Amino acid sequence: MFDAPLPPQVEGYAEARARGLLPVVGEQPPRLLPGPTADQASLRVLAALAATMVAVVAAGKVGSAVFGGGGALAVVVGLVALVALTILYRAWARVGERNLAELRRGYTTLSLTAGSFWHGDLRRFGRFGHRPPWDYRGVWVLANDGTVTQAPDHAVVAPGLYPSPNRPGRWEVWTGQVWTGDFRPSPERPEATSDAFGR
């Protein structure tokens, strides 16, 4: 079921734990980090994606009615769509950074069944539909107001950033089931995994 090795079996885990760099899952639910939660940020990105799709279709129809059809219009609309999707992809990556900041504190507000926020070193997970599966049993799952929706099982290794078994000296995202292939430099201090919202 799980990728081997588990985070506690990776060289550097004990030192990282002693330095306070690993996710900390307390006995009581933590307070939410300031600013939008990972769940709220994800909903904003999904709303922006829907609005972008509507805007691109509307721009294509208006442009076709005003300027007539043609390849030039298709190219312009395609380029606008590509730029918008690139911006949304980067916004989704910021959602992932916020999620990692939450996981670092021992909780999450965003529960994915499977999926990624980054390219994942182009890893594919065939038995999981080619997307990394997530397991949040090891952390607090909180609603956007801080209400507990699931208490952690302290016997389960929490998802988050850990020393990587695949690239020595780097840290890798562990989903609670698999290593994603998303790497980060070794954090110098706990704040190194702070959220992307600058708070």
Q: What is the pLDDT of residues 67-81, one digit of tens each?
A: 666 666 677 677 777
Lowest average pLDDT, out of 5-14, 20-29, 53-62, goes to 53-62
Give the integer Cα–Cα distance in Å for 157 and 8: 8
Report whether pLDDT(155) > 80.
yes
Cis-peptide into 5, omega within 30 deg:
yes
Strands (E), 16-151: 107-108, 140-142, 148-150
Percent of the chain with pLDDT over 90: 48
Mean pLDDT of the chain: 83
Strands (E), the chain: 107-108, 140-142, 148-150, 160-163, 170-174, 179-185
Query: Which residues does residue 179 pair with via DSSP β-bridges, in sequence order?
Result: 174
89-127 pLDDT, tens digit per residue, is 788 789 999 999 999 999 999 998 888 888 765 566 655
Say which residue, 187 or 155, is predicted with more confidence.
Answer: 155
The answer to whether the CB of 114 falls within 8 A of the CB of 104 is no
pTM here is 0.77
Query: Which residues does residue 160 pair with via DSSP β-bridges, in sequence order?
Result: 174
163-178 pLDDT, tens digit per residue, is 999 998 999 999 999 9
At 109, is the secondary structure helix, strand, or coil? coil
Q: For residues 79-91, b (16+ Cβ closer than 10 Å) or e, as one string?
A: ebbeebeeebeeb
